Amino acid sequence: MHVTTRTGTRSRTRLRLAGALAAALVAVGVAAGPAAQAGEGHGKPATLADLAERHGRYFGSATDNPELTDSAYTALLGSEFDMITPGNGMKWYATEPRQGVFDWSQGDEIVNLARKNHQRVRAHTLVWHSQLPGWLTDREWTAGELRAVLKKHIFAEARHYRGKVYSWDVVNEAFNEDGTYRDTVFYRTLGPDYIADALRWAHQADPHAKLYLNDYNIEAVGPKSDAYFALAKDLKARGVPLDGIGLQAHLALQYGYPTTLEDNLRRFSRLGLDTALTEVDVRMLLPADEAKLATQAQWYADMTKACLAVRRCVGITVWDYTDKYSWIPAFFPGQGAALPWDEQLAPKPAYFAIQEALGGR
Ligand code: XIL
């Protein structure tokens, strides 16, 4: 039974080597799953972050604390992206649940996870009319009182995360659709300059963080994005520290693609500001079908290309990466399937479209 021909032994050895090599490749993910198709035939497959970095951009995802017990989820979160945004953990209700009593546990968990995975953090958000703690919304404030409350909150939070985050969405959703100021407790009580004050306080508390104003429905040129353009110009002229404008980009197939996105990004860039797509998802009326998923993929690719075409568009963040943890179904009943990975964490056409738009395969 030991009598084998030279050729026979060699081919069996080759087979064994081929098997071992295949196993090794599977182990590093080259021959297995979606990532394999992102690869360039050697080494580790390129992630969306790798591809974005070749253009000097980042590719990020939001995440939320409850999901972090899902190990299949955290594996992709930790490998595919280079920027992380806490979806809720840094909001006012979470960080100052009682007046003057701060709780950094949720934000810290995400910042620590990001650090472990060598990812940066887009921090979100210091001033917003939504998800405020009850103690703040349940009573009336004089201007003097609210100004002190706002300043204390911004200082405490921005200082706590000083040096640990790349950027802050300092003020979120300050305008109405028609470009007038949104009637929030801050605007009503303090007037429009609460925005400049918030930016100045955030800058004092964390001088290196990039400071953003962030909103939805400002992807296209229109009354709402015009309001941001005018405000940004005014703030810059007054020397108020503002680094960028965040375009949330919560798109919906039934409302059409914002075709002026690239022009819009470019006008902010020319003003000397960074821009970023900060909360991207593309929802659709359920059920999803092949045609809708194909259109969605095209929109993701178009957004990616628009960002790459404008020098100061610094990166793209999806508002979580998998339909399993998307906020859409709960907030827009009957809609969903908004993200590049499906509920089983399998990549959808949108994922491959982004990959291609970034110059992968
Ligand atoms: C959403 C979160 O994803 C949900 O989990 C939460 O219940 C509501 O807020 N614009 C924003 C985000 O700036 O903070 C919102 O996040 C989505 C819309």
Instruction: Report which of 355, 353, 349, 359 is spatially closest to residue 323, judged by C-alpha positions.
Output: 349
Tell me if 85 CB under 6 Å of ligand 1. no
274-290: buried (b, 16+ CB within 10 Å) or exposed (e) per residue? bbbbbbbbbbbeeebee
Output the domain CATH number for residue 220: 3.20.20.80
- Mean pLDDT for the chain? 91
Mutation choice for ligand 1 from 85, 88, 216, CB with most ligand atoms inside 8 A: 88
Q: Does residue 328 form part of some domain?
A: yes
Q: Does residue 34 form part of some domain?
A: yes
214 pLDDT above the threshold of 50: yes
8 pLDDT above the threshold of 80: no
Confidence band, pLDDT 50/70/90 cuts, at residue 361: confident
d(CA 33, ligand 1 centre) in Å: 30
Q: Which residue has the tokens 């009682």?
A: 98
- Give dist(CA 115, CA 109) in Å, integer: 10
**Among this protein's residues, is 173 annotated catalytic?**
yes
Decide if 225 contacts 135 (C-beta within 8 A): no
Q: How many domains does the chain have?
A: 1
Catalytic residue (one of 173, 219, 343, 356): 173
pLDDT tens for each residue of 77-104: 999 999 999 999 999 999 999 999 999 9
Residue 45 confidence (pLDDT): 86
Decide if 304 contacts 358 (C-beta within 8 A): yes
Q: Does residue 187 form part of some domain?
A: yes
Domain that holds residue 155: 7-357
pLDDT tens for each residue of 123-163: 999 999 999 999 999 999 999 999 999 999 999 999 999 99
Q: Is the pTM of this model over 0.95?
A: no
Decide if 202 contacts 170 (C-beta within 8 A): yes
- Give dist(CA 12, CA 19) in Å, integer: 10
Q: Which residues contact residue 16 at a Cβ distance below 8 angstroms, ignoring those fewer than 6 apart? A: none
Tell me if 87 CB under 6 Å of ligand 1. yes
Q: Does residue 238 form part of some domain?
A: yes
Specify the ligand 1 atom closest to the Cα of 216. 10
Q: Does residue 1 form part of some domain?
A: no
